[in-house]
Amino acid sequence: MKRIKILHLVSTLAIGGVQKQIAEVAKRLEGDEFDNYVGTFSSGRVREFLKTADIPVAVFRRDFRFDPFLPFRVAAYLREKKIDILHTYLFTANTWGRLGGIIARTPVIVASERNAIPWKNCLHIFLDSVLSFPTSRIVACSYAVKELNRKKGFIRGEKIKVIYNGVDTEKFSPGDKKKSREKLNLPQHAFIVGSLGRLHRCKGYRYLLQAVSLLKKKYPDIYLVIVGEGEERSNLEKLTAQLDLGKRAIFSGEVAEPLPFIRSWDIGVFPSLYEGFGISIAETMACGIPVIASRTGGIPEVVGAAGIIVERKHPRQLAKAIEQMITSPSLRETLGKEGRERIKSYFSLSKTVNEWANLYLSLYREKISRG
């Protein structure tokens, strides 16, 4: 059988969980069976990673928000490269990309749903529902995301398949905390609470700042390190000043490699309001760092019993869970070990890549058999 050409289309290549997953999976799918291409409407730092992996990247011009010519640009590329499978991610690319796939008569169209945010209005739901008919399969990153889209999008459940995100557990593994702190110039004596993700309202960082402020007097060595960048940064920095956290709260900004930061933490805390999966949570667990996270979206599916789950928007409950971790080194050690084993067993990158490969092959063969 000929090599199957796949275009992975996402709205932006700025660093994020979806973009990192595309890059990791596409790199590992290269071989005798697949040729991978990546398309986007806005370039970003992930493009450099793809470049080093020799994966071609196409940036489709988007002149304004509702650009009616965008699907035709996508369609022209699909025809030029003779793409066999179009795989789109997130609402913007799912919409414009699938329209392009329909115009180009691309044999297989796959859409990915990665968010558990109930933000879609009637127009979004209508578009999702209509475009689901020519879509070969819709893939959700958790059962929570599947259920949300099944209910809100009027999409048949059998058309939605769950494939969990995967973590490279050889790369994300326990490391030397002392060396990591030396490298990052972080205090050796501190109890470091860490978090990783885009600085967006849905990540719930304001509640984490409030939780740490409740503990600062009782535990003077507590520090908070937040890794990531986003539109909420100025608001979070203002809140940090209001809570008089001073140098206890450190905002690293966007980093190309988060691994040294994760290894420097004592615990990872993820107070998300909405989360489809939580790739940063899984990466932290893979490093043997115990986690505390919100009961929302796909997070309970990822964490299971290998971490502490708290309610959303609840800084006092969050503070209580952090204090539990501070006062019990044995709990931290147990959850750290259990967390890593859970990620290795259920959320390894190799498992995810195999599931994607099997899905692509089965959908393509089914299409070919139908002529």
Query: How far is CA 193 from each of CA 90, 155, 225, 305, 321, rounded to the nearest angstrom?
Result: 30, 40, 6, 20, 12
CA 180 to chain centre: 24
For residues 249 and 150, what is the distance between their CA atoms, to the nearest angstrom?
40
Q: For residue 338, report the phi and psi dihedrals to the nearest 5 degrees.
A: -65, -35
Task: Show me where the domains of the chain are located.
Answer: 4-166+349-369, 177-346
Residue 329 exposed, middle or buried by CB count within 10 Å (0-12, 13-18, 19+) = exposed
Mean pLDDT lowest among 148-157, 236-245, 276-285: 148-157
Q: Are domains 4-166+349-369 and 177-346 of this chain identical in fold?
A: yes
Q: What is the pLDDT of residues 322-364, one digit of tens each?
A: 999 999 999 999 999 999 999 999 999 999 999 999 999 999 9
pTM here?
0.92
4-166+349-369 maps to CATH 1.10.10.10 = no
CATH topology of domain 177-346: Rossmann fold (3.40.50)
pLDDT reading at 289 higher than 80:
yes
pLDDT 10s digits, 182-214: 999 999 999 999 999 999 999 999 999 999 999
